[in-house]
Amino acid sequence: MSRIVHLPVTRRARLAVQRGVGAPGGEGESPGAFSELWILLHGYRQLAPRFIRHFRALHDPGRLLVAPEGLSRFYLEGSPGPHRGGDPVGASWMTREDREAEIEDYVGYLDEVLEWGQTACAGHGRRTSVRVLGFSQGVHTAARWVALGEAFREPELRARTRLLLWGTALPGDLPEEGLERFRILESLILVRGEEDQLRVGGDEEKEEARLGEAGIDYRVQAHPGGHRIDGALLRELAVG
């Protein structure tokens, strides 16, 4: 009878990085004077280099934007074949297959991304403010990372972290002890599109009820569009 073995391996992850206009540095990402580190987590089927283009509204010399890419890539469409020709490629944070191992892997991966980003911001004289934005599938990724990641065990880090969950509700299986970490966040913002066809009202109601019962402060922000990043609202949320 066969058995499943989980073998830890080392692989390279891809990050799309955008320094604010006028910021120092370049490819080597030597430390710069950044007051904010933004970690941007894409949705299902998206790639980091394309996803980060939606955040032009955040361009500022004091911000470092980092969009990590999910570790699983796949062809999006077309007929089966040995090379799939010019079919577009997307990425995913996880699937239901072997989900617990995949969650553990991406949580550890994002801890390393955070460490890398804070090192790149080390030229700033005080602790850099951290903004974690998850979009669509990235909402679940972001929420689990804050709830389960080793990095976010530190109350000091959570107190300077703003968590923005954009386009879907919290995962229903988030453990209570992990949810408790949200109490010390600088702020928790739930973002919804008024025309978003993927919205599930029942999930949103459960989300708000659960946060309320846990005594977690949050606010809901809406934009007039669909399932997308809205630049005007993003710019507003960046400053307050």
The CATH number of the domain where 67 resides is what?
Answer: 3.40.50.1820
**Position 183 pLDDT exceeds 70:** yes
What's the rounded mean pLDDT across residues 13-19?
94
pLDDT at residue number 87: 77
| pLDDT more than 70, % of the chain | 89
The 8 Å CB, 24+ separation contacts for 43-46 are 43/135, 43/136, 43/137, 43/138, 43/167, 44/90, 44/92, 44/93, 44/136, 44/137, 45/76, 45/90, 45/91, 45/92, 46/90, 46/91, 46/136
Kindly state whether residue 180 falls inside one of the protein's structural domains. Answer: yes
pLDDT in tens, 87-125: 789 999 999 999 999 999 999 999 999 999 999 987 654
Segment 184-188 shows an average pLDDT of: 97
Residue 182 belongs to domain spanning: 15-76+87-239
> Of the ranges 8-17, 69-78, 138-147, which one carries the lowest mean pLDDT score?
69-78
Q: What is the pLDDT of residues 200-226, one digit of tens each?
A: 888 999 999 999 999 999 999 999 999
Residue 4 resides in a domain: no
* Residue 79, pLDDT score: 53
Number of domains in the chain: 1
Q: For residue 22, is pLDDT > 70?
A: no
Tell me, what's the pLDDT at 127? Answer: 80
Note whether residue 54 is domain-resident.
yes
Percent of the chain scored above 90 by pLDDT?
A: 77
> Is residue 6 domain-resident?
no
In a domain, 9, yes or no: no
Task: Give domain status of residue 21, yes or no.
Answer: yes
Is 148 among the domain residues?
Answer: yes
Model confidence over 35-81: pLDDT tens digits? 999 999 999 999 999 999 999 999 999 999 999 999 999 888 765 66
Query: Has residue 7 been placed in a domain?
Result: no
For residue 158, pLDDT beyond 60: yes
Residue 21 has pLDDT above 50, yes or no: yes
